[in-house]
Amino acid sequence: MILLYKKDLDSTLADREGFLKKLPETKENHVLLATCNRVELYTGDGPAPEDVARHLFRVASGLDSALLGENAILGQLKDSYFNALNQGMVSKGLNILFQKAIAVGKKVRAETKISHGAMSHSLAVLEILLRKNLNLGEMKFLILGASNINKDVIRYLTRKGGRTIFVANRTFEKALLLSREMNCEAIRFDSFYDLLNEVDVVISATAAPHFVIRKELYQVEGKQILFDLAVPRDIDPEISSFGNIELYNIEDIERQIDNNLKARSKEINIAEKIIEEECSKYFERFRNISASLA
């Protein structure tokens, strides 16, 4: 029988470390799934109890994650399984269980929208742009601030074909470092106004205590999309009154993320039905094996 030892998602780091020390010293037939949100040890051979199999299938599908439908957990589960497999730690029963869990995780994501929609500010920016059917490779982007969120924005833009990206930061050296890492062009912060008329999209996420883009200094003739991801705001909201401008602030972005989460929640019942069907197939396999040996 396969056994499961696990620590709840809401446990502290110290709790999880203490839990790891108390786990049985299993030298074979085990898979350890340890992430920032969970610690789970699967050990033994043969079929898993129904609650253990269902739990692992839910984990693989993103239903038991802090962020509903997250994709990262499936990759982490695969890594844990293959690490144990490469070390010769996986019994036949664990092999069947984890291969099935990985297949279930893929099936749930393929047949539902449980993982659809941006769940981060940076991905929400990309989602808005892609919904406009824009050719990112033909557009010019100005990034204000060398923050982590802007780093993610640049990464996602380049993955989708964005090529002309300028980055400005009050500390020019930080802009240079980011530009070298992300293959974009650094400019000095005090000159970004000179570039505004040349770019199609501006994404701002600085730590400034005041407006970085002020209405009285903003003079853009063509159409432009602005994203203000800063708290407090970087961009004067009155700029949104200009007819050629689309301005999205942090509240707009978070509203979109909330709508995406609600849409994911509507997929839970469908995902759970798939999991129950796959649980039945999993146990049917073991019943067939037992029958063939009888």
Give the residue numbers annotated as catalytic, written as ranges: 36
Strands ordered across the beta sheet of 245-248? 185-188, 164-169, 140-144, 201-204, 224-228, 245-248
What is d(CA 105, CA 65) in angstroms, rounded to the nearest whole number? 13
Query: 142, 168 in Cβ contact below 8 A?
Result: yes
Determine the residue type at 262: K
Query: 72, 25 in Cβ contact below 8 A?
Result: no
Give the H/E segment covering residue 256. Answer: helix 250-265
What is d(CA 61, CA 111) in angstroms, rounded to the nearest whole number? 11
Q: For the chain, how many residues are written?
A: 294
CA distances from 44 to 5, 58, 223, 259, 269 (A): 11, 20, 62, 42, 31
Which candidate, 53, 81, 102, 105, places its Cα nearest to that of 283? Answer: 53
Backbone φ/ψ region at 161: left (φ over 0), alpha (ψ -120 to 50), beta: left
Determine the residue type at 56: L
